[in-house]
Structure 1
Amino acid sequence: MTGNAATVSRKVAALLLAVCVDLSLFYAAGLVATRSEFGHLTRLWAHAALRGSALTAVTLLILGDLDPLLTRVIAAHSLLPAVFETGTDALYHEDTERGSSVDVRSWLMCAGASLAAALFWEITVPDADDAAAGKEKKQKARVLFVRVLRLYRPEYLLLLGGLVMLTLAVFCEMFIPFYTGRVIDILGTRYQPNEFVSALLLMGLYSLGSSVSAGCRGGILLCAISSFTCRMKVKLFGALTKQEIGFFETTKTGEITSRLSKDTTLMGRAVCLNVNVLLRTFIKTLGMIALMMSLSWKLTFLMLMETPVAGLIQNVYDTRYQRLSLAVQDSTAQAAEVVNEVVSSIHAVRSFNTEKHEARRYDDCLMDTHNLKTQQSTLRAVYLLARRLTGLAMQGIMLYYGRLFIQSGQMTTGNLVSFILYQSDLGENIRTLTYIFGDMLNSVGAAAKVFEYLDRKPEVCMEGTLKPDQLTGNVLFHKVNFAYPKHPNKAVLQDFSLELKSGQMTALVGQSGNGKSTCVSLLERLYEQQEGEILLDNEPLKSYDHRFLHKKIAVVSQEPVLFSGSIRDNIAYGLAECSLDEIQEAARKANAHDFIMKLEKGYNAEVGEGGGHLTKSGKQQIALARALVRQPQVLILDEITSSLDMDSEKKILQTLARCPNQTRLVIAHKLENIVMADQIVLMEDSRVQEQGTHQELMDMQHESPSCRLSVPPQNGD
């Protein structure tokens, strides 16, 4: 507490001493002004330098260092009187020496204005350490923005055409106020018909050129945006489909669809349109300033004083609006996720009678989004009000000084009208420039979400190149350890070793949750094991070409997935060159050909969404045909005969038995399927507990009561 009191005392002492020194120099300036032999402006700037040096010395002497904000206050406080009087001399061309007004009120006004200027600089260009994160964020936004522009490379010709049309539109638009002033001057002086008609004709031509060019520019840029958005959606969709299954288990579907449908569109429109507005406004601003300087450079400099005020308002608005924009994106994605969950699980919702609960949950999400958008709208309304008030104030200042300049003969009435028209547009353009630059950085918030998915590398590598001409299908699990991404601390497979021999059928049995389906998922390379390796013909699975591997390893699940389209399309799914004969042969092996031919359109019959037009047994037969048409070397069957009748089941099993070189992995509960297996593997506690033929395991069960194979005798099924 003593140290804090001492610090406060030093600061108070420094402030009092600085005020005394500054007031002394301020009053001394009035005395020097009456006796000085130096020029007025020279004396002003010398006095400013003396005051700045004295205040800096006093502060350093007592405090030992200078805070950045304090440095700016001292500089502004010392230089403000000199800058003010120099500007007044430039505007009025008066040579009378006014000197610093020796009045405490003048000193207080200077001090207040200096503090306001320093605070303005502190807000717009902060020097504090906590501003580092904000600067880094803006730098990242700039990098993302440049990256989006590079992605527009295929549309560069369209963008170039839009830029040409934009330049023509701006060029024509700039001269309309100029010729408006000319018309007023012609009408206000001696009327010259030829000059009047010429001015009107030129003004009309410039107006027509501006309208035509603006329309062409808008159409060309919309074409560029549409092309870019389509490419980005395809690119993002391709990147998403390459991600591992664990990514989709940990990422909400609503978030993915929101990025794919909304953020890609927002990224394309916001960036391209903002660049269009930025270039148009920038070119127009430069041209207007040049024309305004030719009309009155004094009024032009006065008008530019609006820029720092507009910059301060824009900086505050951008900071808050960007935060709200990100919150709205997240809230919208959450609402989309609720809809997706309810629609995909409508049976469970109906079974548990939770329709009203889900409706309330969706309503809560929408209300969160509504509240955030209301805050956005309120913030924007306040921002627009501040912009309008700033513009009106500057317009009033222009009218006041314009009247003085007309009275002094420095400009004509027509020139003032032209200048006011330019000033109205230029003020709006300056505010637009400050707004659009911040809005461009805000718009890349959507791009950041898209790039996050585009840049993500799948944890399951799919860059293998091995495609051997001959494949025996021998599979080896060697000391595999695995846990799912959602539950990294819960091991599903521990030190798991198993060999699937070519030409043999292996049956995995055991209670749910012991890793049977996990073995299938790892063999399909849906996940990557944490430890150990899985070999196919003594080569790691990741060494094989992705397309080749999934053609040689086929899976038929208990609940097969069919896609909207014909039966033919579903059987040949993923095979671009698959003849009808091959499709029919696979259907015969799956005992599906007969029931397909009984349909009205045969192989061209539609299966409906998710195969809804087919029976459960029909879907399983189609899924089996889809696997067999690939002529896989390793065939994985997950209780596929559970929905088949006895005759169909028998025919399918006989067909599969006629593939002597094919490796088959069966997850089964029916006794017939287990008995037919060349080896039965009992899984328990994430490991292989027992392994052998059905007879060997039954003998072990008789010899050891602890044997856990829960398979009834064959004649008891």
Structure 2
Amino acid sequence: GGDGEEAEGGVPQYVGFMSTLWWRHAWRLLSLYAPERLLLGTALLCLLLSVPLSALSAVVIGRLFNNFYYPYAPDSSRGHLREYCVAILGIYSLSCALEGAYTALVFVSGEKMASRTRRKLFHALLRQDMSFFDKVKSDSLVHTIRSDVQVIVRSTGAHLFHGIHCILNVILCLSVMFIISWKLSLVVLSLAPICVLVINVQRHFTNKLAADRRDCLGRAGAHMWESLLGMRLVRSFAAEDAQVEDYRACIADVHDLSFQSGLLDSTSKSAVTLTVQFAIVLMLYVGGIVVLSRQIEVGYLVTFVILSILQISSLGQLPKLVSQFKSALSSSSRIFELLDKIPEMNTKATQVIDDLQGHIQFDLVSFAYASHPNRSVISGLSLSIEARSTVAIVGARGSGKSSIVNLIQRMYDASEGAVLLDGLDIRGLDVTWLRENVGVVLEDPVIFCVSIAQNIAYTLDSATQSQVEAAARFSLVHDLIQTFPDGYQALVGDRGVRLTASQKLQVALARAVLAHPRVLLLDETISGLDASTAEAVMDNLLASPSQRTTVFLTAHPESVSKVPRVITLQGGGGKG
């Protein structure tokens, strides 16, 4: 093989195990188990001890046949029969105990590695820039953490050890077989490739159909998920029947592929069984000739047949195990890509402002998202928001209001110019401290599938119930919460499905206020509230202007008519 090539998405395509890249990547993959090396070393020792037991049991069974096959065997041999049977049972018991031990050790090691790797992956994802999440779908990241790690555990744990077991079995069985009869061994060696070929042809077509079936099931599942997620739209267009027909078509494809898979599976299994049985019959025929010519005893022929079956079975499983290890390499490449990714934004600054006032300045700031680097959202923006003042920034959709929020929170860095807080460039401030002191209520707030109290007190474990309720009263959501049977402990459902859009904003505002930020950014918060609530919430926000710097961002000037200062965004710049 040569060096690995990069496929789309940065996934290496391994062209052969002779590749340096292949071995380097395989070594790094296995090094994930480094903390479990003692457990795995013990498991490997159990495996090495268990391998000879299969061959030993075959030899003992052969000796048993030699002693009791002949009709003139003395009656005293019956005692030895019991001894042989006890010996065989003891070998089987020891073999099962050793295999059970190494299987358990490998399982524990795999779960430890999986938990550690998932934690590292999640930590690596959380430290990435927002621009990374703009370019990568969140479901693919979840798939990497959940499924790719599981593929590695399965393929480098039980399957890898099983592969080692199979390889050692083949070597040991062949060695003993050649000792018994080199002629019979050559017959087996000539038949083994045919058996393995038939097994792998069957596996190839079965896997292809299984992959097609998984794709169809995936499409059917995605269709169902989208239909349920967009149930309001489906109902609005009375499209239930059309959705059912589309789903029926997807399921029909799954049915056809399942039928083909079942037919192929039954046919190919019969072919594989027939091929293996033909090999055994041929072996018995040739072996019978060898026994009749008194070249070997019948017991050795029995041993030989047992070892041959073990050897062919082990050989047949190796290609599948190699394929699974390659899958683990492919999955690990995606994992290592995430673990190795260094955020473009420098977040190592440690400076904080001891007495933060909340004076915000934009000094000739220009900004474009990494996904569209040639399309500036903000161009040469300069503005100043005095400390502890209340200001509204008004602009049409796409004028850069949300980008201003992102820049102040330092979710992104400005392409040109600087964003200043109390006269200091925010790029020189501790980013965790900055975000703790800049509260944000987004136009489409995130509501977690936990209780209302937990949503309001998000990350604030020290918040008391009275503090949570005070924040809820500030955003006028307290009375609503009291209508729930469980009050503040009521679960709001997936993404806050039990709350209206306005109520989600109120919960998000309570969450932001509870953290006591020195700067509060409200992106379309007032305009998103119900008319009966918006004015009262605005009055609460305007009633305590000296506590914080409050910035409203909206496309609806009428919603901020009470705000003393309004800045209008025009073409990426601002005035007011």
Identity score, percent: 28
Q: Does 1:683 align with 2:569?
A: yes
Query: Shift of residue 554 of structure 1?
Result: 0.8
What does residue 353 of structure 2 align with?
468
The separation in 1 between residues aligned to 2:362 and 2:24, in whole angstroms, is 46
What does residue 9 of structure 2 align with?
none
Give the secondary structure class of the aligned counterpart of 2:568.
Answer: strand
Instruction: Give unmatched runs, 5+ long, in structure 1.
Output: 1-124, 693-717
What does residue 58 of structure 2 align with?
177
Residue type of the alignment partner of 1:549: L
Residue type of the alignment partner of 1:567: I
Retained in 2: the 8 A contact 1:254–1:340? no
Retained in 2: the 8 A contact 1:565–1:607? yes
Give the secondary structure class of the aligned counterpart of 1:665.
Answer: strand
What does residue 44 of structure 2 align with?
163
CA shift in 2, pair 1:306/1:571, >3 Å: same
Match of residue 405, structure 1, among 282, 290, 294 = 290
The separation in 2 between residues aligned to 1:267 and 1:620, in whole angstroms, is 42
Retained in 2: the 8 A contact 1:483–1:490? yes
CA shift in 2, pair 1:345/1:482, >3 Å: farther
| TM, length-normalised to structure 1 | 0.67
Match of residue 263, structure 1, among 148, 165, 174 = 148
What does residue 135 of structure 1 align with?
15
Residue type of the alignment partner of 2:563: M
Mapping of 1:616-631 within 5 angstroms? 618-631=503-516
Retained in 1: the 8 A contact 2:195–2:276? no
Query: Shift of residue 608 of structure 1?
Result: 4.5
The separation in 2 between residues aligned to 1:486 and 1:672, in whole angstroms, is 32
Mapping of 1:98-177 within 5 angstroms? 135=15, 139=19, 143-177=24-58
Instruction: Give unmatched runs, 5+ long, in structure 2.
Output: 6-11
The separation in 2 between residues aligned to 1:302 and 1:231, in whole angstroms, is 49
The separation in 2 between residues aligned to 1:377 and 1:288, in whole angstroms, is 34
CA shift in 2, pair 1:489/1:354, >3 Å: farther
Give the secondary structure class of the aligned counterpart of 1:498.
Answer: strand
Kindly provide the CA deviation profile for residues 524-579 of structure 1, in whole angstroms up to 9, marking residues without a partner as x.
33444444443334444444334322211111234433323333212210223333
Query: Shift of residue 319 of structure 1?
Result: 8.1
Match of residue 188, structure 2, among 295, 303, 312 = 303
Match of residue 383, structure 2, among 498, 506, 515 = 498
Give the secondary structure class of the aligned counterpart of 1:135.
Answer: coil
Residue type of the alignment partner of 2:407: L
What does residue 673 of structure 1 align with?
560
Retained in 2: the 8 A contact 1:560–1:620? yes
Mapping of 1:470-549 within 5 angstroms? 470-485=355-370, 487-549=372-434
Q: Does 1:638 align with 2:523?
A: yes
Query: Shift of residue 298 of structure 1?
Result: 3.8
Query: Shift of residue 419 of structure 1?
Result: 0.8
Residue type of the alignment partner of 1:180: I
Match of residue 566, structure 1, among 451, 460, 479 = 451
What does residue 201 of structure 1 align with?
86
Retained in 2: the 8 A contact 1:480–1:493? yes
Match of residue 649, structure 1, among 535, 544, 547 = 535
Match of residue 544, structure 2, among 651, 658, 667 = 658
Mapping of 1:544-623 within 5 angstroms? 544-592=429-477, 602-613=487-498, 618-623=503-508
What does residue 8 of structure 2 align with?
none
Residue type of the alignment partner of 1:186: N
Kindly provide the CA deviation profile for residues 147-190 of structure 1, in whole angstroms up to 9, marking residues without a partner as x.
34322344445434443443444333322221111111111343
Mapping of 1:166-245 within 5 angstroms? 166-189=47-70, 190-191=73-74, 192-245=77-130
Retained in 1: the 8 A contact 2:410–2:431? no
Larger Rg: 1
The separation in 2 between residues aligned to 1:365 and 1:138, in whole angstroms, is 42
Retained in 2: the 8 A contact 1:142–1:441? no
Structure with the largest fraction of helix: 1
Residue type of the alignment partner of 2:382: S
The separation in 1 between residues aligned to 2:247 and 2:342, in whole angstroms, is 33
The separation in 2 between residues aligned to 1:176 and 1:667, in whole angstroms, is 80
Retained in 2: the 8 A contact 1:310–1:434? no
| TM, length-normalised to structure 2 | 0.81
CA shift in 2, pair 1:624/1:604, >3 Å: same
The separation in 2 between residues aligned to 1:544 and 1:687, in whole angstroms, is 25
Residue type of the alignment partner of 1:187: F
Kindly provide the CA deviation profile for residues 594-652 of structure 1, in whole angstroms up to 9, marking residues without a partner as x.
66567665544444444455565554333222112222121111243343566873465
CA shift in 2, pair 1:248/1:338, >3 Å: farther
Residue type of the alignment partner of 1:677: P
Residue type of the alignment partner of 2:15: K
Kindly provide the CA deviation profile for residues 123-170 of structure 1, in whole angstroms up to 9, marking residues without a partner as x.
xx89xx9xx976269845655544343223444454344434434443
The separation in 2 between residues aligned to 1:171 and 1:447, in whole angstroms, is 33
Alignment RMSD (CA, Å):
4.1
Mapping of 1:432-447 within 5 angstroms? 432-447=317-332
Retained in 1: the 8 A contact 2:151–2:327? no
Give the secondary structure class of the aligned counterpart of 2:439.
Answer: strand
Give the secondary structure class of the aligned counterpart of 1:152.
Answer: helix
